Amino acid sequence: MAPQSQNVVFAFCFDKDSRIETYQKMWRFMENKKPSVFVHSYDEGVKRVLDGNYAFLMESTMLDYYVHRNCNLTQIGGMLDSKSYGIATPMGSPWRDKISLAILELQEKGIIQMLYNKWWKNTGDICDREDKSKESKASALGLDNIGVFVVLLCGLAFAVLIAILEFCWNAKEMHTSIRSTTTGRALFKEVAGKNL
């Protein structure tokens, strides 16, 4: 096995030389753990998860692949990081632009998503993946869980009503004070255009 694959579990998530303090602490903790938390392959990591008392951090594409093939696995939480894949070509290669355009065209036509669904999701396994995905994702907002929003809307409506009433009350008070002064009365007659 190549030396780079020795710590495959964290190859995509953590770098022991990371500048992020949280990642540095996590790396030190895992490095000093006995027995070692590191594995040499995805299969070994998945086996340790299935044996129990082990959480396996792995690249999201491979995680998705394994979870869709084994009903005893599930993904907890979201991605820690986001990375993309690329295809390397020599400097100045005429293939670079052709490959980039071909990939963009495949994405626009939905062919990449179709192939992903074919090879990752439609595996014909025995467990119901729809139920499993509902467990791990946040449920959609339905009538049962909008009570908080109804209370907030009622509070907002009440606050607007109070503000309107307060405005009307202050306008009436101002109108009364203007009418009671001589200057105010003359101004009011001028603006209103009628006798008081």
pLDDT digits (tens, 9 = 90+) for 77-94: 777 777 777 788 999 999
pLDDT at 62: 82
DSSP calls for 34-97: SS----SSHHHHHHHHHHSS------HHHHHHHHTT-TT----S--S----------TT-THHH
Q: Residue 194: pLDDT above 80?
A: no
Q: Cα separation of 78 and 60, whole Å?
A: 9
Residues 74 and 136 sit within 8 Å (Cβ to Cβ): yes
The residue with greater pLDDT, 11 or 155, is: 155
pLDDT at 158: 96
Query: ω into residue 35 within 30 of 0, thus cis?
Result: yes
130-172 confidence digits (pLDDT tens): 544 444 445 555 666 677 788 889 999 999 999 999 998 888 8
The CA R_g of the chain, rounded to the nearest whole Å, is 33
Q: Are 56 and 37 in contact (CB under 8 A)?
A: no
Residue 1, pLDDT > 50, answer: no
> Is 36 buried (19+), middle (13-18) or exposed (0-12) by CB count in 10 A?
exposed
Indicate the pTM of the whole model. Answer: 0.49
> Which SS3 state, helix, strand or coil, does residue 12 take?
coil
| pLDDT of 157 | 96
Sign of the Cα pseudo-torsion (183, 185, 188, 189, in order): negative
CA dist., res. 30 & res. 12, Å (int): 15
pLDDT of 127 reads 56
Cβ count near 41 (within 10 Å)? 12
Q: What is the pLDDT of residue 140?
A: 56
Q: Which amino acid belongs to residue 16?
A: K
Mean pLDDT of 116-124: 75
